[in-house]
Amino acid sequence: MLLVGVVLSELGVAMLLRAAAMLLLLLTATVRTCPKPCHCSERGGQTSVQCSSRDLRSVPSDLPEDTVTLTLSANRITRLPAHVFARLWRLQELDLSGNAIEAVEAGAFQGVAESLRQLDLSDNRLTGVPKEAFGRLHKAKVSLSGNPWHCECSLQEVLREVRLDEHTVNEVRCHTAVRDEYAGRPITQVLDSGVNFCSFQRKTTDVAMFVTMFGWFAMVIAYVVYYVRQNREDARRHLEYLKALPNSSHSSSKDSDTASTML
């Protein structure tokens, strides 16, 4: 019995040591997956990553996969490449405000589009984004205020795909526009008044096509005129040459007759 007790005691100690080692390994792994300049915390089984004001120039690549809340505000990020958040399958809140973002690629939110509930892109340098970038963000409230938007057809199509944050929707303004009278006005206000930026673009395209076709037509006419004039000049010279042929033959026959007489 004593021997059995000793064996069980040793087995218990071994199991405890193994469990402690596994726990230590998990804790170490958790620490390793948190980017160095950021702070990671967990509450209620949800991981939050705080990377605000860390002078970051890009989105960290080693973010925890179970991140639910990610704050990247007040950094120096300039672009969001495709698949940059693809690993963060549980991401619900994403704050990218106060950066210098100028470009958002079409697949930037691929992998998180279904889970995302809040997306803050305010106070950046966006003038436009591809329609595909927000294609599946149907559940997320999106803040786009404080950007120098250029109001034209593609931006109008983008806004049809997103649910703008109602608290900042009137701060989404046209910095520039296809028509100067819309610059400085809230985009939704302009669109609600019945303005269709796409119709302006179609008219501009039609005018451009007309100008191009007119230019080609003018080039063809100029070539035809040149061709006719050139051929007319060649024909005139050819006729003059033909007219000169009989005289030359007559002169040659006279010379032959004179030579025969002398002989």
Spatial distance between the Cα atoms of 113 and 118, rounded to a whole number of angstroms: 10
Spatial distance between the Cα atoms of 89 and 116, rounded to a whole number of angstroms: 9
Give a three-class secondary structure readout of 234-258.
HHHHHHHHHHHHHHHHHHHHHHHHH
**What's the confidence (pLDDT) of residue 131?**
87
Q: What is the pLDDT of residues 222-252, one digit of tens each?
A: 666 676 666 777 777 777 776 776 654 444 4
Reduced to 3 states, what is the DSSP secondary structure of residue 192?
helix
| Burial degree of 186 (CB within 10 A; 0-12, 13-18, 19+) | middle
Residue 142 bridge partners (DSSP) = 119, 164
Please, are residues 187 and 173 in contact by the beta-carbon 8 Å criterion? yes
pTM confidence score:
0.67
CA-to-CA separations, 241 to 62, 234, 244, 250, in angstroms, rounded: 88, 11, 5, 15
**What's the confidence (pLDDT) of residue 187?**
95
Start-to-end CA span in the chain (Å): 159
**What's the confidence (pLDDT) of residue 138?**
87
**What's the confidence (pLDDT) of residue 37?**
92
The set of residues, in sequence order, having a beta carbon less than 8 Å from that of 58 and lying 6+ positions away, is 77
pLDDT under 50: residue ranges of the chain = 1-8, 11, 13, 16-17, 20-32, 203-211, 248-256, 258-263
Reduced to 3 states, what is the DSSP secondary structure of residue 34?
coil
Nearest to 94 by CA among 138, 51, 133, 61: 51
**What's the confidence (pLDDT) of residue 23?**
43
H-helix or E-strand containing 209? helix 197-262
How does DSSP classify residue 94? E
Please, are residues 181 and 155 in contact by the beta-carbon 8 Å criterion? no
Q: Are strands 39-43 and 46-50 parallel, antiparallel or unpaired?
A: antiparallel
**What's the confidence (pLDDT) of residue 252?**
47
Reduced to 3 states, what is the DSSP secondary structure of residue 46?
strand
Please, are residues 75 and 51 in contact by the beta-carbon 8 Å criterion? yes
CA-to-CA separations, 6 to 12, 16, 127, in angstroms, rounded: 10, 15, 74
